[in-house]
Each structure stands twice: as structure tokens, then as C-alpha cells.
Chains A and B, each alone.
Chain A
Amino acid sequence: MAKTPEKHVVDETSSAPKDGGNGLKEAAPGRISRRCFLGTVTAAGASALISPSALNAAGEFAGWPNRFGMLTDLTACVGCRSCEKACNEANNLPNPSTSFDDPSVFNEVRRPTAKAYTVVNRYQDPKDKNKFVYRKIQCNHCNEPGCATACPIHAYNKTPEGPVTYNEDLCFGCRYCMTACPFYVPAYDYDSALEPKIVKCTMCYGRVKAGGIPACAETCPTGAITFGKREDLLKLAREKITKNPDRYIDHIYGEKEAGGTSWMYISGVPFGQLGFPTNIPNKPLVEETKGFLSAVPLVLTVWPALFGMCYAALRHRDEVEEEKAKSKKNEEEKNG
């Protein structure tokens, strides 16, 4: 079982920094910073006027290079809930009503709430009725997140490091992100009258940025949660599945779902039997509304001309009729 490394360096192309292990400090040549990426997009947009191939290149976003991810191996999880406890402590969340050692919570299917970023649920193993399979739920940190696409105030951000972050100072509480999330992750603080906010896993963004690893991965005693570069995790997942075809089903959940997620899962049981949503398209949700949004500027430009012309035609008809009536009157006067 691959053990999660204690420390990581964000950028392999730059030399490992000595000051606190913060590899994010300077943008080294191979690494694309956010601003640099936006610049590239603008440039690509400008060159699209000249070259059609550049237009295609700008339309699709393959995801931030070198972003991090997590791999949960459900076959290794023993349901100890130490990840829940570590998450609670690392993020200063309120104490739960039942303790983290209490197995009675497994009697019901739980979900992340306004008080818990992550929960572990228990399912009976369909292969062996005496065994259990455990599933950890938290935000999957999509490559192109539906929540970020939905948010009208840009309160969500897909960071280049991988975590999807949320800024409560911008949120007005429309909860469209919850409607859009295919994994039913964001939770809302319905009990707060004046400062309600969305609550969801941050993939310990602060720790990751400082060169650390998320609390749940750090604490997991069985190595069921691995932190690393998403590309490396995909390789690791494939390797595990290839080496142990009896142990795993041939599916990496999160490789393609909703356009791919930073958090991925491998399992011995089909994901649908563990409560994972299985009716999610493999393309990012943003693709669903792209066509509609691209029609918007057309309406803005064509409609005024079209309906302006209708009005002009109406005026024209009125004028012609007026002239006709006038000449008829003149004629009558002449004849009469």
C-alpha cells in the first residue's frame, strides 16, 4: 500500500525550497501561474482571430497542470473515522453530537453537513455478507467545478493547486451551487439568520499551499487516502487495479466523472452500490451551458436590428397608407 508522503514539493521543476518547504513561492519556468494562464488565454483569444486552430485550443481547458489530488482506496478503509476526527480538528469545526468512536452513526446514511466536511458511511459488502465496505464522502474538487460555474458572484475558485475554495464574503446564499453539484456536496447553514454560508471540504488548501498534506490523508492509519499529483495518483490507481484484478473493479471514480475530479476512488464494489451518483455525464458541467451562453451575444446584436426592422416596416406601411389617403382626398376635391 502506497503510503502518503509527509511533505511534498509543489513544483518539481524548481529546486526544492529550504524555507519551510513552500514550493509555491516563486513561479518557476515550467509552472503556469494563474495570471500567466489568463494571459495565455487572452493571447489565444487574440490569435483566434487569425488562426482557427487556436480558437479550438482556447475553448477547452485541460485542467491546471501539476494540480494535486487525493485517491481513496475503499478496499483499505476500515471505517475508523479518524479522518472525520482529524478534519474536525484541522478545520476548527463544532464538536459532533456523537463521539468519533461511536459506531452507532453507521446505522444511518450520512452526508457532509454545515458542521462536517467529511463523513464515512458503512455498506454491507455484496461479495461477503459478513463484511462491510466503507465510503468516505467529501468535496471531490472537480477539474471544472459545477459549483464554480453556477455561482453568479464568483465565490468559488478552482485553485491551480487543485482544491476548490469558497469565499463566504462574496456569497449571497442563492444555493445554485448546491443545485449544480452532481455529488450533492455543498452544505448550507440554514440555521444561521444573518451569516449563513456554504460549508464544504477545502482539501486543506492552507496546508497544501504551505507544503503540507490534507489532515485526513495525514491521519489515515491504513493508507486508504493518498495525496499527490493527480497524474501520479491516476498512474498509482491503474497500477493497483492491474496488479490486483480480484481486489478492484476496473473503474477509477473521478477520472472522468463530471469532466474529472481531483479526488478519486478505487473500490472492490461497483460504485453505484455504495451510494455514488452514477448518472453523471463524463463532460464538465460547464459544457452543458456553453451553447446557451454563446447564443447570448447573438441575441444582443441581432434582435435590435431584427425588431427595429419590424418597427420600421410598420411605420413604412402607415406612411404609405397616409399618403394614399391624402392623394385620394386631393383627387376627390379636384373631381368634386
Chain B
Amino acid sequence: MANGTIARTDNFRSWFMEKLLMGMTWPEYMRTLITPFNVIAAGILAIGLPLIAMRFYIGLSLVTHSSNEYPWGLFLGWGLFGGVPLSATGFVMATAYYIFGFKRYHPIVRLAVLTGLLGYFFAVVYLLTDLGRPWRIYYPMGVAFGTASVLFLVAWHVATYLTVQLVEFSPAVLEWLKSRRVRRWALRVTIGMTIAGIILSTLHQSALGAMFLLAPGKVHPLWFSSYIPVLYLSSSVYAALSMVIVVSTLSARFLKDKCGKTFLSSLPKLTLGLGKGAAIAIYVYFAIKVIALTHDSNWHLLNTGYGYWYLVEIFLLVLAPALIYSIGFKKRSVNTVRFAAFLAVFGVVMNRINIAIITFNWNLPHHFAHIIPPWKEVAVVLCIATIHVLVFRWILNRMPVLREESDYEDAH
């Protein structure tokens, strides 16, 4: 009896050390945690977490300056509208690999799926921080249905897609836990899940844009267009390809010891390929942008203050990354392509923030005074973003994402 308990405790201890402490003992593990990055992260959390807690006891007014005219701020502008296109990685790469047969991209598919999964998860975290009564998050699914609402569609799709991505990523978790039987089951639904992912992503990526169709007088006419759902969808494609480059670049640099040989050796070539794809996707997006501008005959607005800002966006943050991508691909320069990827990602986020924050209510008096966020709002956003990075790193450190588990190299 007693011996059995001891054996079980030992089993648990070795399991715990192997799985969670990466094979180290507690003191060893704790020592590895003291790094400059972690110290800064701890500082950010020390400010942000109490603010989030206090928000649930004093009210939203503590952490945002959202008002009756400006109901949404950084939480949604950055976290939801900016975060979701960058999280299209899972759907874009899974489609390319499983449906279109870009087999060479195998080493980065899992990383792309994880980026998507965590991106959506944290978009929901930002949303929960912003909702007045987050504990009612399931209301659109079970209590009352606003079927005419675009947000109703977004709510359903984000919830469903989060589940789909969890299933898509589950083989990595199951390999980590060495659960062969469940893993085999999870692999069997891959194609179905991938196609479900395409449907759900097509609809909610565009729906996030369609949400602003209800604010025709509020979003500046240069950004407001009946094409906005298509613009959101098409920009999410190049956002995803660029984001895969960004995340794989950072992983290969900062978590090199967790990367498999295949991952590291194939990355330069794959980066060039992704860059080529992203460039084409940007040219498509740019063309639709010009069509939208022409369709609404808004050319005359280009010669205004907002017009200049619009030109900065579409030339420096859309067209320029595409050109840099093209040059990088032509010269076979991986670093040039990587630079373009960072710029493109920044451009997509800027576009979403332009629509949700910077040009929203552009015709109200003292508009610019309203759009500068207070420090507490920035602190909460930084805090959630830091947790995002920490969770991402935690998973990459443990689960077979950047490398293949030796027992499972057979099939994917």
C-alpha cells in the first residue's frame, strides 16, 4: 500500500518535472526564470493585473476613457479588431498545406495554428475586459438571439472557430502528453476542421469589417466603404502570411534550442515563399482599396488632412511592404522579406486602429483629444499582450511545435 503511494508520487514528480519544468528541479527551473525579459514582464504584470482586478470593482471608467460618443477604445481597437486579422495564420496555413497541397510548408503549420489559436483566445480576453458584464458572454449563444446583428455572427463564429482551432492544435498537446489513441482520433478530423476553419474565417474576418457598416456617418468616408468586408478578409490573408514570418523569425531567434533541425534548415526558403505569397495578397488588397475609393468617388477627399493620412497608410504601410517583399524575393534576401513582414503586420493593425479609433467620429469637435488613450488603458493592454507572449513561450518551450516529437515523425 504505502509503497504503491510512494511509487505514484514519484511518478507524478517525474511527470511534473519532465512536462512542466522541462526536466529540471524546482530550484534549477526558478533560476532559469530570472532573465531581463522576465523581469520587465513581471513589472508590467504587477501594474496591469491589479488594474484589471479593480476594473471589476470600480467600473470600466477606471481603466478606459470610453465615453458615450466613443464606446470603444484600445481593448477592442487593438485587441479584437487588430488581433483577429493577425490570427488568420491558422486558417491560411492549414488551407495552404492541407487543401492546396503546399507540402513543403509542413514545418511551420503547427506554429501557424498555435499563433491563430492564441490570437483568438486573447482577442476574447480583450473582449471580456471590455464587456460591461463579461459573465454574460454566452448570452448570444443561449439566451436571446439578435440574428440581424453582424456581432451575433462574429460571436458565434469566434466561439466555434476557437473550438476548431483547439482541435486542430490538439495533436501537439496529445503528443506532449503521449496520448496516442486520442491523437489518432484528432488527426482523423483534420480536413473537416480545416474546411470549417475556412468557412468560419471567411465569414468572421469580413464580419469584423461589416460591423462598421452600421456607422456610416462616423467612420471617415475614405475608410468607410461597402467593400469593407472584402477589404478586411483580403487583408487578413496577407496579415496572416506576414505574421507567420514574424513569429517564426522570433522563434528561431529566441527559442533556437527548441527548434527542430528541419524547422531551422527549411525556414529561409519557406520565408521567401511566404513573402512571395504575401506580396501577391497585398497587391490584391491594394487593388480592391483603389476600386473601393473609385466606387465611392472619394478621390477629392485625398487632398484633406485625413486624405494625407490615408495616403500614408496605403503607400507606406500597404504598397511599400509589398514592394519590399517583391525585392526581397527577387534578391533571395530573407532579411529583406522579414523586414517587409514586420512592416505589413504593423500596417494591418494601423488600418484597424484607423477605422476603430483614429477616424471614428472624425467629425465630432475635439476629436483628437478623445482618441489618446489614458495610461491605465495602455497598461492593461500591455499586460494582456505580455501574458500572451508568456503563454506562447510556455507552450513553445514544452510542446512539439517548432520540432517534431521523435516518436511521431511518421505522419501529419
What is A's interface to B at a CB cutoff of 8 Å?
111-114, 146, 148-155, 170-176, 178-180, 182, 184, 186-197, 277, 279-281, 285-286, 288-289, 291-293, 296, 299-300, 303-304, 307-308, 310-311, 314, 317-318
Contact = CB atoms under 8 A, between A and B. Distances in A.
18 contacts: A114-B68, A171-B136, A172-B140, A176-B214, A179-B72, A188-B132, A193-B57, A196-B59, A280-B217, A281-B216, A288-B213, A289-B214, A292-B150, A292-B206, A292-B210, A292-B213, A293-B148, A307-B195
Interface of chain B, main secondary structure: helix
Contact of B199 (A114, A300, A311): A300
Contacts of A310: 99-100
The 3 closest A-B pairs by CB, nearest first: A173-B132, A175-B71, A172-B136
A190 B207 CA distance: 27
Interface stretch (B21-29, B37-45, B151-159): B151-159
A172 B131 contact: yes
A153 B143 contact: yes
B98 to A, nearest CB: 7
B16 interface: no
Contacts of A187: 68
B71 A170 contact: no
A289 B150 contact: yes
Contact of B214 (A113, A154, A285, A296): A285
Contacts of A314: 99-101
Given A154-B146, A186-B68, A293 B58 contact: no
Given A170-B144, A300-B199, A317-B101, A149 B149 contact: yes
Contacts of B372: none
A296 B132 contact: no
Interface residues of B, number: 60
A179 B215 contact: yes
B202 interface: yes
Given A111-B68, A310-B100, A170 B58 contact: no
A279 B131 contact: no
B95 A307 contact: yes
Contact of B215 (A114, A180, A303): A180
A171 B132 CA distance: 9
A119 B54 CA distance: 32
Contacts of B155: 152
B60 A311 contact: no
Interface string B55-88: 1111111001011110110000000000000000
Interface string B178-208: 0000000000000100010011001100110
B373 interface: no
B34 to A, nearest CB: 36
B211 A176 contact: yes
Given A186-B68, A196-B60, A279-B363, A288 B143 contact: no
Interface in B279-315: none
Given A152-B146, A176-B149, A188-B68, 7 more contacts: A175-B72, A182-B217, A184-B68, A279-B363, A288-B226, A304-B195, A311-B191
B375 interface: no
Contacts of A196: 59-60, 132-133
Contacts of A188: 66, 68, 71, 132
